[in-house]
């Protein structure tokens, strides 16, 4: 089912002796606003974790290789097109859902004497009327992409079918994250070395001592209608934020731990958003002391409590969904009422996800 309500969400994680997002222009040092000692993480970093997670679970994604090979978009689309055209059941289901597509197919296929979907599609007679065929192709491929590729349904993309480019704004938008307090770079840079037989290379690794990071984001029901984002996609997205990060145990990313995820789900009739939720949170610390763990910080969400209460009383909020790290006791610190707890550590089934 396509999602029918808007949400604002907040994702918090900590980075312990870690480099959450390297700056390629500065020897891969953590991205920083040096004036305020605030570390930064791009939205693209988060989406990459999500995509890697989907891929690891066997789900096809758009920004990807095909059988380990980099292929052009045309080749990739052809692959999915042929996959569908050789699966009669998929094609029938697609036509059942999409009357316009079915009508165009019937009209164009009358001119062909071939029998299988693939043969008909590849028949010159089927493709003869360039305008009608172009229309069919555009609709068909847009549908396929939406059905096959979860990253497009969530994050949108620019696409081009038959050189007609279209931009789908992703229903899920994630802001750049930042550390909610001043951070310190580890003074001594670990030296990494790559040893070969006759030479070796030395490099530096830059890490942060500790950072509590937050990203805010929105899920837009109207954009979801255009990309076909479903309720199940929403659940997969939440899991990918948490598990995608946990899965990424590289040298620079080890030490990253998702702490909590809050999602304010509005009622289907409410057409709005609160916007960036981080403005409602106050993180306190003693700036004279080094900040080395979550216990060196205080977190006050009373402004969020107030905003959520107001929105609930006005009937705009359906429910607040929450996940907290099950071992680290972060749930005691937030006071906002959670209506539905979800388990984002729960294993996500491998591939063949039935949509």
Chain positions contacting other proteins, by CB under 8 A: 6, 23-25, 31, 33, 35-36, 38, 40, 42-44, 62-64, 70-74, 76, 156-160, 163, 165, 167, 169-170, 173-176, 178-181, 216-218, 220, 222-223, 270-276, 278-279, 283, 307, 310-311
Shorter beta-carbon distance to other proteins: residue 70 or 110: 70
**Least CB distance to other proteins at residue 65 (A):** 9
Question: DSSP H helical segments within 36-112, as ranges?
Answer: 43-56, 73-85, 88-97, 99-109
* CA 267-273-274 angle, 5° bins: 115
Tokens coding 137: 């192709």
Residue 60: phi and psi, rounded to 5, are: -70, 140
Shorter beta-carbon distance to other proteins: residue 45 or 108: 45
Give the H or E element holding residue 145. helix 130-148
Shorter beta-carbon distance to other proteins: residue 170 or 255: 170
Shorter beta-carbon distance to other proteins: residue 281 or 344: 281
Shorter beta-carbon distance to other proteins: residue 283 or 348: 283
**Least CB distance to other proteins at residue 215 (A):** 10
**Least CB distance to other proteins at residue 91 (A):** 24
Whole-number Cα distances in Å, 278 to 202, 214, 350: 40, 7, 34
**Least CB distance to other proteins at residue 107 (A):** 27
Tokens coding 223: 């954009």
**Least CB distance to other proteins at residue 298 (A):** 14
Whole-number Cα distances in Å, 317 to 31, 274, 310: 35, 11, 9
- Beta bridge pairs of residue 210: 16
């Amino acid at each position: 089912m396509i999602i029918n309500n808007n949400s604002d969400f907040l994702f918090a994680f900590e980075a312990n002796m870690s480099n959450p997002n390297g700056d390629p222009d500065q020897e891969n040092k953590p991205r920083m606003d040096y004036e305020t000692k605030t570390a930064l993480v791009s939205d693209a970093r988060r989406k990459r974790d999500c995509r890697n997670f989907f891929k690891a679970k066997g789900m096809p994604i758009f920004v990807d290789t095909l059988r380990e090979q980099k292929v052009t978009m045309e080749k990739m689309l052809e692959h999915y097109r042929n996959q569908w055209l050789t699966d009669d059941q998929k094609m029938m289901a697609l036509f059942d859902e999409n009357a316009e597509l079915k009508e165009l197919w019937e009209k164009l296929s009358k001119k062909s004497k071939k029998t299988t979907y693939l043969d008909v599609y590849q028949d010159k007679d089927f493709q003869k009327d360039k305008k009608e065929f172009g229309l069919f192709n555009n609709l068909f491929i847009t549908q396929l992409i939406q059905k096959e590729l979860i990253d497009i349904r969530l994050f949108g993309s620019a696409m081009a079918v038959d050189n007609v480019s279209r931009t789908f704004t992703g229903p899920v938008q994630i802001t750049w994250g930042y550390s909610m307090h001043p951070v310190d770079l580890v003074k001594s840079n670990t030296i990494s070395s790559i040893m070969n037989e006759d030479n070796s290379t030395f490099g530096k690794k830059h890490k942060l001592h500790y950072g509590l990071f937050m990203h805010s984001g929105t899920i837009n029901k109207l954009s979801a209608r255009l990309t076909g984002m479903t309720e199940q996609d929403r659940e997969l997205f939440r899991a990918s934020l948490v598990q995608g990060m946990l899965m990424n145990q590289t040298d620079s990313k080890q030490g990253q731990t998702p702490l909590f995820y809050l999602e304010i789900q509005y009622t289907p009739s409410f057409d709005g958003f609160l916007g960036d939720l981080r403005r409602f949170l106050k993180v306190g610390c003693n700036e004279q002391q080094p900040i080395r763990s979550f216990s060196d910080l205080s977190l006050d969400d009373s402004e969020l409590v107030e905003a959520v209460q107001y929105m609930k009383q006005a009937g705009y909020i359906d429910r607040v969904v929450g996940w907290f790290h099950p071992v680290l006791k972060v749930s005691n610190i937030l006071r906002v009422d959670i209506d539905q707890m979800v388990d984002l550590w729960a294993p996500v089934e491998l591939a063949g996800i039935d949509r």
